[in-house]
């Protein structure tokens, strides 16, 4: 059985957009935890032939990454995300590129729940955000 450590994955956030083409910066410095949530929507049916057991269909999804760690000022990805803390609407939009498990996943996204400061008095500032996919991701082989 082979295990792949989390650090072997790569997450990049689109930091500049020129004519619809994103330039990405790695989101890794200071990052201690990344949690993926698929946020699936399901339809559940109880048909007679199921004899009391359900039939389920996944009919939608709102994937997101919850990212947390320590603030590293001067890091391009963190600085970009921190700059969105008080922005609204399309000013929070970007693109994400994830390389994991032999796949490259890209998708437009919105950056929410940005925290770029705070924490215990003797700690480095906290950093966290939620990166929410906007639309269907593109999945290709790495």
pLDDT at residue 139 tops 90: yes
| Cβ contact 82:71 at 8 Å | yes
* Alpha-carbon span 66 to 129, nearest angstrom: 6
* Alpha-carbon span 96 to 81, nearest angstrom: 12
* Alpha-carbon span 36 to 15, nearest angstrom: 21
Nearest to 10 by CA among 76, 78, 99, 77: 99
The residue with greater pLDDT, 105 or 142, is 105
Residues 63-114: tens digit of each pLDDT: 999 999 999 999 999 999 999 999 999 999 999 999 998 999 999 999 999 9
What backbone torsions phi and psi does residue 35 show, to the nearest 5 degrees? -125, 125
What backbone torsions phi and psi does residue 31 show, to the nearest 5 degrees? -85, 125
* Alpha-carbon span 23 to 17, nearest angstrom: 6
- pLDDT at residue number 142: 82
Residues 40-61: tens digit of each pLDDT: 999 999 999 999 999 999 999 9
Confidence tier at 120 by pLDDT (50, 70, 90): confident
**Cut 0.85: pTM above it:** yes
């Amino acid at each position: 059985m082979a295990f792949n450590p989390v650090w072997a994955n790569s997450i990049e956030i689109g930091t500049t957009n020129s004519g619809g083409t994103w330039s990405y910066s790695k989101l890794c410095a200071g990052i201690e935890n990344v949690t993926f949530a698929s946020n699936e929507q399901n339809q559940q049916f109880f048909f007679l032939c199921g004899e009391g057991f359900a039939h389920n269909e996944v009919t939608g999804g709102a994937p997101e990454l919850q990212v947390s760690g320590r603030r590293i000022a001067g890091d391009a990805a963190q600085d970009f995300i921190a700059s969105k803390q008080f922005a609204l609407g399309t000013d929070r939009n970007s693109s994400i590129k994830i390389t994991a498990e032999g796949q490259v996943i890209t998708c437009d996204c919105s950056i929410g729940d940005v925290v770029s400061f705070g924490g215990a008095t003797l700690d480095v500032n906290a950093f966290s955000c939620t990166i929410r996919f906007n639309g269907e991701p593109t999945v290709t082989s790495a």
